[in-house]
Amino acid sequence: MDEETDGIPQNRPAARDVDATDRKILGVLVDDATVSYAELGDRVGLSPPAAHERVKRLRRSGAIRSTAAIIDPKAVRKPLLAFVHIDTKGWGKTPELMAISEHPEVEEIHSVAGDTCMLIKVRTEDTRALEGLLSRLYETPGVTSTRSYVVLSTYLERPVQPGVTTEWPTPRHMAKPLY
Amino acid sequence: MDEETDGIPQNRPAARDVDATDRKILGVLVDDATVSYAELGDRVGLSPPAAHERVKRLRRSGAIRSTAAIIDPKAVRKPLLAFVHIDTKGWGKTPELMAISEHPEVEEIHSVAGDTCMLIKVRTEDTRALEGLLSRLYETPGVTSTRSYVVLSTYLERPVQPGVTTEWPTPRHMAKPLY
DNA sequence: GATTGATGCAGAATTTAATACGGCCATTAT
DNA sequence: ATAATGGCCGTATTAAATTCTGCATCAATC
C-alpha cells in the first residue's frame, strides 16, 4: 500500500492544514510520544483508530518530522553548550555547511539577518573539547574566523510547541494591522 | 512496581555510565524512536528483551529524558526563528524566568558567560507576532531591554547526538593535556 | 433541492509488538 | 574456589498496533 514509488513528491494530497484536534495531538506527542493510541484518543476525544489515522496523516504531511529520543547531554558527556559565530568567505555555500555539519557536536546552523556570519550551536565535553572543535572548524576551507559564546546555565530547553489555541489571534493589546 | 515514592531521587542505582552499546541504542532512537525492540536489537546486536532492558535503564537513569514528536515549525505556523537578548535587572531570578518561559513561543533560555543578559530562542508566525512577543516580554517585571536577531535560514537543526565513538578521544591534532 | 461522492469516525477482528518470566553464562567479590 | 551479581537469550503471555467494515456528515454536482 506504499504509494511513494516516485522519487519526487509531486502530487501530495494537498496537505490539509493542521486543525485544533491535530494541535491537541501534537501537544500530547511532543510531551510524550510513547502513549498508546487508546490513551491519545482519550485525551483528544477520539477512538484509538481515529487517533492513529490522524497521527499517520501528520507524519505523512511532514507536520511530525520524526519521533525521537531526547537525550540528556550530560549522559553522553556533552555538558558544555556554546553558540559560535562563524565568518565564512562564501557566506552560506553548501560545501562549507556540509563540512561544518559533519561534526556531531554541531546541533544547529543558522544564517542571521544583519550579520555576515553563521550562528551555530555546539555541545562538547569541556572547554578543551570546545577549543579543539573550534580549531577544526577554523581549518575548514572558507572559514575565516570564529567567535564563541559559552552558556553558563540553561533554564529552559524544549521542542517546538504546537500552541493549542483556537485560532491564531493577533496579540490582545495590538491594533489591527494596517495592511 | 514504582519505586519513586520519595520526592528526592536519593538512592539512584549508581546510574552506571553509558557504554558503547548504549550509545548505539541512543543513536538509533534519536533518529527514530518508533522502531520495534526487535529491530533495535538487530541493529545493535542484542535480543529484543535485552534491548528493551537497556532502553528501560536509559529511561530510568535519565539518559533518555523523553520520547517526543519533532514538529515542523511551519506546520504549526511558526516559521520565523529568532534569538533574543534580554537584559534583566535581577539577571536570572526565578520569577522572571518563569514569566518568560510562560510564552509558548520561547524554546530556550540560556545565561551566557561574559554577558549580563539572557539569550533566548523564540519562534513566531511572522515579524508582527515577534514584535508582539517582544513587547509582552518587555512588559515582564525585571526586564529592562531586548535585542532580537532574526534567523534568515536554518541549514541544520538536530537533537543531541550521542556520538558513537569507541571512547572519547582528545582531538587528533592536539597534544596531551598538561594537567 | 435531492443525489452522489468523499472524508472522517467508531467498533470489531486480526496481526504484531511489548512485556514478564525462567534459565544460562560470565564476571566479580568473598 | 565459590557464591553472588548482572546481563543476556528463548519462550510465553499480555497489550497495543493495525486492518477492515459500516455509518454519518459535509460538499459538490446535477
Tens digit of each residue's pLDDT (9 = 90 or more) over A5-49: 333 333 444 467 889 999 999 999 999 999 999 999 999 999 999
Please check the confidence at residue A126 and state whether its pLDDT lies above 70.
Answer: yes
Q: Output the pLDDT for position A164.
A: 66
Local structure of B15: helix, strand or coil: coil
Q: What is the pLDDT of residues B88-134, one digit of tens each?
A: 887 767 788 889 999 999 999 999 998 888 999 999 999 999 999 99
Measured CA to CA, the distance from residue A92 to residue A147 in angstroms comes to 17
Q: Where are the alpha helices (DSSP H) in chain A?
A: 20-31, 37-44, 48-61, 94-102, 127-139
Residues facing B118 on adjacent strands: B86, B111
Please check the confidence at residue A167 and state whether its pLDDT lies above 60.
Answer: no
Distance from CA(A122) to C1'(D26), angstroms, rounded: 51
Q: Do β-strands A64-71 and B143-157 pair in parallel, antiparallel, or remain unpaired?
A: unpaired
Intervals of CATH 3.30.70.920 along chain A: 80-150
Q: Scan for cell 494537498, then name that residue.
A: A14
Mind telling me how many Å the CA of B6 is from chain A's nearest CA?
22
Please check the confidence at residue B19 and state whether its pLDDT lies above 50.
Answer: yes
Q: What is the pLDDT of residues B132-166, one digit of tens each?
A: 999 999 998 889 999 999 999 999 999 999 986 54
B58: left (phi over 0), alpha (psi -120 to 50) or beta: alpha
Cα end-to-end span (Å), chain A: 47
Query: For chain A, how many helices (H) and strands (E)?
Result: 5, 5
Measured CA to CA, the distance from residue A112 to residue A114 in angstroms comes to 6
Q: Scan for cell 508582539, then name that residue.
A: B132
Q: Output the pLDDT for position A165.
A: 54
Measured CA to CA, the distance from residue B158 to residue B156 in angstroms comes to 7
Intervals of CATH 1.10.10.10 along chain B: 20-61
Chain A CB contacts of B62 below 8 Å: 72, 75
Strand D closer than 7 A to residue A47 Cβ: no
Q: Output the pLDDT for position B164.
A: 65
Among the partner-chain residues A31, A33, A153, the one whose CB lies closest to the CB of B111 is: A153
CATH of A20-61, one of 1.10.10.10, 3.30.930.10, 3.40.390.30, 1.10.260.40: 1.10.10.10
Nucleotides of D under 7 A from a protein CB: 7-11, 15-20
CATH of A80-150, one of 3.40.190.10, 2.60.40.10, 3.30.70.920, 3.40.50.620: 3.30.70.920
Closest C-alpha to A162, from A30, A43, A60:
A30
What is the percent of chain A where pLDDT is above 90? 67
Q: CB of B106 within 8 A of CB of B152?
A: no
Measured CA to CA, the distance from residue A8 to residue A4 in angstroms comes to 9
Q: Do β-strands A143-157 and B106-112 pair in parallel, antiparallel, or remain unpaired?
A: antiparallel
Q: What is the pLDDT of residues A71-100, one digit of tens each?
A: 999 999 999 999 999 998 877 677 888 899
Q: What is the pLDDT of residues B23-38, one digit of tens each?
A: 999 999 999 999 999 9
- Amino acid identity at A94: T
Chain A CB contacts of B155 below 8 Å: 92, 97, 101, 109-111, 118
Q: Output the pLDDT for position B5.
A: 33
Please check the confidence at residue A145 and state whether its pLDDT lies above 50.
Answer: yes
Q: Hey, are the CB atoms on B119 and A154 less than 8 Å from each other? A: no
Measured CA to CA, the distance from residue B133 to residue B146 in angstroms comes to 11
- Amino acid identity at A35: V
